[in-house]
Chains A and B, each alone.
Chain A
Amino acid sequence: MSFEIWLVATAAEELPPLAAAAQSGGATVVVVAVGGRELAQAASAVGAAKVHWIEVGPGLVAEAYGPAVARLAAEAPARVWLSGPSPAARALLGGAAVAAGAALVGGGTAVSLDGQTVLVERNALDGAVIETLAADGPVAVVWDSNEGQPDVSGSASPVLPVAAPAPLAVERRSVEAAAGADGLASAERVVGVGRGVKARADLAMVEDLARALGAEMACSMPIADDLHWYPEERYVGRSGQKIAPLVYLALGISGEPQHMEGVRSAKAVVAVNNNPEAVIFRTATYGVVADLYEFVPALARALEDS
């Protein structure tokens, strides 16, 4: 049985994992691209059958075009809708789901068809389990995976500009760079500290390790917001810095989703925690169950010896 998966995208980097997931399910892929011409061009190169392009007007943001996406969704023969986790993409996906009469779920990692039923696999309980959900009708899924590259061997997809209804007055007034973000944002190695560090004076030990690693320092939200050991711009998480180092060494960090969202693009996450049940061990690449006060000096020695 053939079916269509429609992707809602507001930025080019959202598209490859969505398109790959849709193709792997054997679906015909259609993209709804809400953004500038560069986004439309990127969307035409991910192996989709076609691209519906809604151009965002000057001074507006993608969310202003919620009614336009909803109007498309109401008519679309889509069985599945996918978007990435960005606020703008999710805002549009929610509108599409309601207009299409679709169920809406988060954490998606796989989608397939079982007879007439769509099966969605998703991360649940902070990654502790994979849950399978079955939908007999249309379903919209917020995707939770950065992995996958689509087959782009075909020719560029046709881009169909959408004559959008009047946008909502959702206007961007200003965009400012977050203070002091440069070094951390581009660092290849980052050491993050959480509440497992007992005293401010102990940061010196961790900073020595960071220097040995050639790493920038970062922290979880309580370290910056509650304890003020590091300035706000060193806080990594959903409402803080989002970083993409080769290695993120998390020391005494439990791994709450709010923090881990800030390091989801890291190549490898190394977790050091004295609690073997810490949720960070579910998603980290490498882990050491240890007292960081013993492990940090040991790691510094190991780096020196190697």
Chain B
Amino acid sequence: MRAVAVYKWSRATASALVRQDGEVDWGSAKMAAGDDDPAVLTIAKELAGADGSVVGLTIGDGETAWALARGLDTAYAAPQVGPSPDNAATARALAQAVDQIGEVDVVVIADAVAHPGVAAALAAVLGWPVLLGVNSAEAAGGRVNARRRVGNAVETLSLPTPLVLGAVAVGEEAKPPGMMEMIKARKKPVTELAVAPPEAGVAARGTRRPDRQGARLFDGSADEAAASLVAALRGDGLL
């Protein structure tokens, strides 16, 4: 199979600074690898197998070497495509890029908590089936068998190709590449694609801090805080 692994397509929320009035300052934050991006690569490689291939695809200003340092030899980038609050707009940009890459059997992309619609909208724009929340997958007779956890059960599904899989990691990355691998990866070629920036169907009207300012905190010594907590939980009927 020929797989596309989409990586570094959004900014890390930890990069944003929230001011006292709730305004958000992203500063110079760049596109970053998400928690599920290592799982994206793992699944794409498994589906490609020894006879197939995996190419990387990233958008915006993130460092393209991330995937190339993790075993890929080919990567595409669409640097004109920046972050968007509109998941459908991001998906349309990604679909343009996938179209330009050519014949593809499967696109694997993070099923990201912060952008829960991108994978599904990407599949819809491409006109392909989609499965989200996927933990692992394997090729089987021209189809894809994918496993995911649903509630407290694990289900295995079979899908036709081409398709889009939204990946969810079940563990942390086992062995991130070292400095030497990153240096070598930066020397590998990256093909830039001409993709129009997404036009968002929503406009930001601002941000504010939540009305509920987080947890009710118990102060004092450990014993005082513990006693207050127990009293509160008993008062709520939870103990």
Contact = CB atoms under 8 A, between A and B. Distances in A.
Contact of B225 (A126, A135, A247, A295): A295
Given A104-B86, A130-B209, A298-B223, A286 B230 contact: no
A268 B217 contact: no
Q: Is the interface of A mostly helix, strand, loop or mixed?
A: mixed
Contacts, number: 296
Given A106-B115, A129-B207, A246 B238 contact: yes
Contact of A221 (B124, B153, B172, B203): B172
B180 interface: no
Contact of A98 (B22, B125, B129, B152): B125
A159 to B, nearest CB: 25
B50 interface: no
Interface stretch (A38-46, A149-157, A170-178): A170-178
A142 B114 CA distance: 10
A92 B131 CA distance: 10
B205 A132 contact: yes
A87 B117 contact: no
Contact of A134 (B88, B116, B166, B202): B202
Interface in A66-112: 66, 70, 85-88, 90-95, 97-99, 101-107
Contacts of B33: none
A49 B177 CA distance: 56
A302 B117 contact: no
A94 B230 contact: no
Given A133-B202, A133-B204, A95 B124 contact: yes
A135 B149 CA distance: 34
A17 interface: no
Contacts of B210: 123, 127, 129-130, 282
Contacts of B129: 63-64, 66, 168, 170
Contact of A240 (B149, B211, B234, B236): B149
B203 A94 contact: no
A103 B85 CA distance: 9
A175 B205 contact: no
Q: Report, as a range, how many residues of chain A touch the other chain.
A: 35 or more
Contacts of A283: 214-215
A110 to B, nearest CB: 11
B149 A281 contact: no
A232 B131 CA distance: 23
Given A173-B156, A258-B113, A94 B225 contact: no
A139 interface: yes
Nearest to A289: B217
Given A127-B210, A129-B210, A281-B214, A91 B153 contact: no
Contacts of A85: 116
Contacts of B215: 269, 271, 280-287
Nearest to B215: A287
B139 to A, nearest CB: 14
A105 B207 contact: no
Given A90-B117, A172-B155, A286-B229, A105 B223 contact: no
What 10 A-B pairs are tightest by C-beta distance, nearest first? A94-B120, A103-B201, A287-B215, A225-B171, A87-B132, A87-B133, A98-B124, A298-B222, A284-B215, A302-B226
13 contacts: A90-B132, A124-B207, A129-B24, A139-B201, A173-B157, A174-B155, A185-B152, A221-B170, A297-B222, A298-B223, A299-B226, A301-B223, A306-B234
Given A63-B129, A87-B131, 11 more contacts: A86-B150, A98-B88, A106-B113, A125-B24, A126-B114, A129-B208, A168-B160, A232-B170, A238-B168, A282-B215, A288-B225
